[in-house]
Amino acid sequence: MSQTEPFTSPYPRERKHRRFDLQFPVCLSFPTGAEVRELEAISQNVSIGGVLLQAGYQVPPQTRVSLRMDVISPWSNRAVRLVGKGKVVRVEALGPGAGYAIAVECQRPITEIESRLPAAS
């Protein structure tokens, strides 16, 4: 798929919540056997009901996940941490070397938590 071709999905678009095009690093964590694995991804769009990620590795559908995303806006001098828990509802290969699109549906609306940074000494 080239940069100019739009991403098309074989799945119907069912929108429950308004989506926002936000590209920020996301840390996705999920159990794999007795361990918890962390995967770095980039958000493609975010809603209060979930997030679409692009990652170099896939996560199996129906996997329970936790996610953390620090959002820094140009109009604020502080980061906002978005956190959520949910499950992977869709995984699609984006093409050779392009990674995977991973759709995560959250159990509850994504919550906002102010990040607390230690004071400089």
Q: With contact defined as beta carbons under 8 Å apart, do 81 and 116 qualify?
A: no
* Beta bridge partner(s), residue 62: none
Q: With contact defined as beta carbons under 8 Å apart, do 24 and 41 qualify?
A: no
Residue 21 has pLDDT above 60, yes or no: yes
pLDDT at 111: 57
What's the pTM? 0.73
pLDDT at 6: 47
**pLDDT digit string, tens, across residues 96-121:** 888 999 999 988 776 554 333 333 33
Overall average pLDDT of the 33-54 stretch: 91
pLDDT at 92: 95
Higher pLDDT, 72 or 94: 94
Q: What are the residues whose beta carbons fall under 8 Å from the beta carbon of 7, sequence distance 6 or more?
A: 1, 94, 101
**What is the CATH T-level fold of the domain 25-110, as seen in this structure?**
Thrombin, subunit H (2.40.10)
